[in-house]
Amino acid sequence: MAPKATSIYIESTPNPNTMKFVANYYLVEPDTFLDFTSLEMSKSSPLASQLFENFTWVKEVFFSSNYITLTKEESTDWMEVQGPARQLITESLTQGIEIGEAASAVDGSVKPTSIEAPVNTAEDEIVAKIKGVLDEYIKPAVEQDGGAISFHSFDKGLVKVLLQGSCSGCPSSTITLKAGIETLLKRAIPEVETVEALDA
């Protein structure tokens, strides 16, 4: 990644332990993301590694489109740590520190390998409709809150989705899942009976 003049602004998310650091340009290609939950996992991403090494309170680093979400330890106060985190992110991106290779969010993968369950060919049409509703109506809203949602599987009326970024472990994600996502999918696709979330 070439050095690039970078400005970062901070947005809160529905998850009180996650903050969104928004850049003035795309960090990864649209519909791709990276998700790291430990220093050991982050070896492929120099920037994520720096965040884990410099800040012991960081529990998760998530990259998508033009933002990074950081999830903190519950005992840490954002007022004390958001300034230094913003400074490190700004300086690292300006210097051209590598983010790493993103995995595709379109097919529901979180790592280079897909986590999507095998699909029965008779259900392909329903699955295509589910993915269409997720892509058009749900993903943009979830990304606005610093998270990501991807299709995992559909079986006997049950849709499983993967929640990442600020959505993972968010207290309000269950309400969003049932009151928003499930209601919308059931209304659009009669075959859908319930929706469950998997945390990455």
pLDDT digits (tens, 9 = 90+) for 2-43: 778 889 999 988 889 999 999 999 898 877 888 999 999 998
Query: How far apart are the C-alpha atoms of 178 and 77, rounded to whole Å?
Result: 30
Spatial CA neighbour of 18 closest among 179, 184, 149, 165: 165
Q: Which CATH superfamily, name and number, covers 121-199?
A: Fe-S cluster assembly (FSCA) (3.30.300.130)
Hey, where are the domains in the chain? Answer: 8-104, 121-199
Nearest 5°: CA angle at 176, between 175 and 178? 65
Instruction: Output DSSP code: residue 117.
Output: P
Task: Look at 115 and 5; give whichever has higher pLDDT.
Answer: 5
Output the six-digit token pair for 95: 């210097």
DSSP per-residue string spanning 48-116:
HHHHHHH-TTEEEEEEETTEEEEEE-TTS-HHHHHHHHHHHHHHHHHHT----PPEETTTT-SSSS--P
Radius of gyration of the chain (CA): 17
pLDDT number for residue 15? 87
So what's the architecture of 8-104 in CATH? 2-Layer Sandwich (3.30)
Q: Are strands 194-199 and 58-64 parallel, antiparallel or unpaired?
A: unpaired
The predicted-structure confidence for 157-190, as pLDDT tens digits, reads as follows: 999 988 888 777 676 666 677 778 888 888 888 8
Task: Please tell me which residue, 130 or 117, carries the higher pLDDT value.
Answer: 130
